[in-house]
Amino acid sequence: MSIIDDLRQSVIDGDMNIAQELVQRTLTENMPPEQILKDGLISAMAEVGRRFECGEFFVPEMLISARAMKSGLALLRPYLTATNVHAVGKVVIGTMQGDLHDIGKNLVGMMLEGAGFEVVDLGVDVSPDKYVVAIKEHRPDLVACSALITTTMPYMKNVILSLKDAGLRDRVKVIIGGAPVTEKYAADIGADGYAPDAASAALCAKELILKKG
């Protein structure tokens, strides 16, 4: 196996120490940072997502893989910046106003990062106004909204209405998800995408970015 395959495997195995060591080695061997990112880290997280979707991986495996990926990415980031390698897109993510649940939102954030996105995490209990302020500040391509309970899900519609009112709706794609959320609800409120889990959220985000051009 090549060193890049080993790096990919270490991320799938969730072995943070090996992943860091291998990123260092690839850099020492002057491998292009973009190749390390794409063939090592992003490719690994795509496989983690595939295994999660088919029920081979669960939340613990996803968490330790994401941690390994992030630790490798932290070492790689200065080299990516130096060689002008940009993120595939920027996402502002948060849990709806009135909702303090964060693990689902965190998993989506990790998978988005693992798919090459820059993620701005607004945390939990995020009001529509906070989204508007964050979008003006960070100028993301995508906005991701999470809700675990039926009482907070309606705020997703309010986020979309607030974006319209602020004249920002055409600038960003909106994806939504969470236990009570359905594809139909996403269509009803005018969201651009819906994902039932973290792995498919990353795929959905990539598709929307491609469409956005």
Q: Rule CB under 8 A: which residues touch another protein?
A: 14, 55, 57-61, 63-64, 67, 98-101, 103, 106, 125, 149-151, 179-180, 196-197
Nearer to another protein, 90 or 101 (CB): 101
Closest approach of another protein to the CB of residue 119, in Å: 16
Minimum CB–partner distance for residue 176 and another protein (Å): 14
> Measured from the CB of residue 131, what is the shortest distance to another protein in angstroms?
18
Nearest approach, Cβ of residue 36 and another protein (Å): 24
| CA 188 to each of CA 14, 129, 144, 180, 203: distance values in angstroms, whole numbers, following the listed order | 39, 21, 17, 14, 21
Query: Residue 62 Cβ, how far from another protein at the closest point, in Å?
Result: 9
Q: How many of the other CB atoms lie within 10 Å of CB of 169?
A: 18
34 vs 197, beta carbon nearer another protein? 197
Partners of 121 in the beta sheet? 93
- What is the rounded distance in angstroms from the CA atom of residue 106 to the CA atom of residue 126? 14
Q: Which is nearer to another protein, 52 or 79 (CB)?
A: 52
| Nearer CB in complex with another protein: 61/118 | 61
Rounded CA-CA distance 93/159 in Å is: 12
**Is the Cβ of residue 33 or residue 177 nearer to another protein in the bound state?**
177
**Phi, psi at residue 80, to the nearest 5°?**
-65, -45
**Host H or E run for residue 176:** strand 173-177
- Residue 184: Cβ-neighbour burial (10 angstroms; 0-12, 13-18, 19+): exposed
